[in-house]
Structure 1
């Protein structure tokens, strides 16, 4: 480990949680009533919520402001509707970003049958929602989504969302921060990827189990915060999915 490099493992069971009749949510950072002044963000990432929403339930219409919100579904489907007129079903392999900008209202519900015409819908939806700050406040709210072919998610890191100029030609969706990018990989046992070099990295394992070079096993729900680091290899020990935020600035630069 070089001078200034820091690798901090955060275990799944140590996360704060919100559990009510229709929602089981685990928070990697302070969120809602679960406030810890020593755990508010890492780099530009303020929220990494690991959510399971029961069928027929979800988040009613609520406001957001000045935040880039990425939703990544692992299982099931989630209906998004917002005050700019966008609506649709988010499902595994679909990258989705909402820019709250100067203000937006939206809802997220596990009731895709209302839009798809299914006669019943009984599967919980499991998704990760991540928030990063934009580089400019008060922008026009926006929405973007794009399906990523499964082949692109097998065995290598791909750029899911980015505002970094160097990713202009190889990113699925854009975010309004030129210092941040979200990458993901869907891995089979034995598949290995190398983490990028960056002042701040956040590795999250939403599904499966992997081995992190120099740190050992990471299981579902574990996260690692890297400072002035990168280059470590991540190897799947069972079918897994990882999400990696590469950040070249902290909040002070946003």
Structure 2
């Protein structure tokens, strides 16, 4: 468990507030570099007129989920999009791509979003871009597959990741209701974006009870995230399932 208050905070540009879950930029902790293949999970707030000027990425899968406002994306491959709540964006940097991210023009308030970086398992590929709207009808018992590289998900509407053992899910629950049965994987990374929830550290009565608030995250191996139940405002959870860790060399 890592609480929202434990994130590293930075202001990389005027009007930009970033809260990092892992070592990032000027924040270095050798014990907190990544979890499995997830290398970054940043909570970003861009004020009116603010944003990230053109910068470059390589061999990184970048997933963006907007919580409030609208985020304008433009990249050197000619892709452009506006990401709003209920939409997921995927930029596969591949051999290299430059992009800008800004609070959309004409906005009257900030844009808040979660951005996650995942290492691919194929490198040097052509950059690609995807933007998908997610509706309630996409959910099956409160669970929606947002993006995946697993072969068994190739025919689904999920955005295609360039990592063959990773998938990103959205789980939701009404107030005081249990979350849906969450997919199992050797490594799971859960980030609560809205509401609150409680869970047990192991299944059954021997597990200790823990609680999560928006912005908290849990790094999970085995069954160490049992019987999650939403709090009084319901819950919205982003969940990575991964089969392996970083590839080196």
Does the alignment reach a TM-score above 0.5? yes
Contact 2:57 2:98 in 1 (8 A): yes
Q: Distance in 2 between matches of 1:231 and 1:15?
A: 21
Contact 1:95 1:145 in 2 (8 A): yes
Q: Distance in 1 between matches of 2:224 and 2:214?
A: 21
Shift of 1:252: 3.7
Shift of 1:227: 1.7
Determine the structure 1 residue equivalent to 2:214: 220
Shift of 1:96: 1.0
Q: Distance in 1 between matches of 2:157 and 2:226?
A: 22
Contact 1:207 1:220 in 2 (8 A): yes
Shift of 1:154: 8.4
> Quick check: 196-205 or 144-153, which moved more?
144-153
Matched, 1:208 2:195: yes
Contact 2:177 2:234 in 1 (8 A): no
Shift of 1:104: 0.2
The CA deviation string for residues 139-166 of structure 1, in whole angstroms up to 9 with x for no partner, is 1011011111134358512110000112
Q: Distance in 1 between matches of 2:66 and 2:183?
A: 23
Aligned-partner SS, 1:249: coil
TM-score by length of 1: 0.88
Q: Distance in 1 between matches of 2:18 and 2:246?
A: 25
TM-score by length of 2: 0.90
Determine the structure 2 residue equivalent to 1:12: 4
Structure 1 segments unaligned to the other structure (5+ residues) = 1-8, 114-119
The CA deviation string for residues 214-234 of structure 1, in whole angstroms up to 9 with x for no partner, is 342101111100123367222
Structure 2 segments unaligned to the other structure (5+ residues) = 202-208
The CA deviation string for residues 187-210 of structure 1, in whole angstroms up to 9 with x for no partner, is 321232222221100011122111
Determine the structure 1 residue equivalent to 2:173: 187
> Quick check: 44-53 or 148-157, which moved more?
148-157
Contact 2:14 2:50 in 1 (8 A): no
Determine the structure 2 residue equivalent to 1:144: 130
> Quick check: 15-24 or 199-208, which moved more?
15-24
Return the match for 2:230 from 226, 236, 239.
236
Q: Distance in 2 between matches of 1:153 and 1:190?
A: 19
Superposition RMSD on alpha carbons, in Å? 1.9
Contact 1:205 1:241 in 2 (8 A): yes
Contact 2:75 2:99 in 1 (8 A): yes
The CA deviation string for residues 21-43 of structure 1, in whole angstroms up to 9 with x for no partner, is 41221111111111111101111
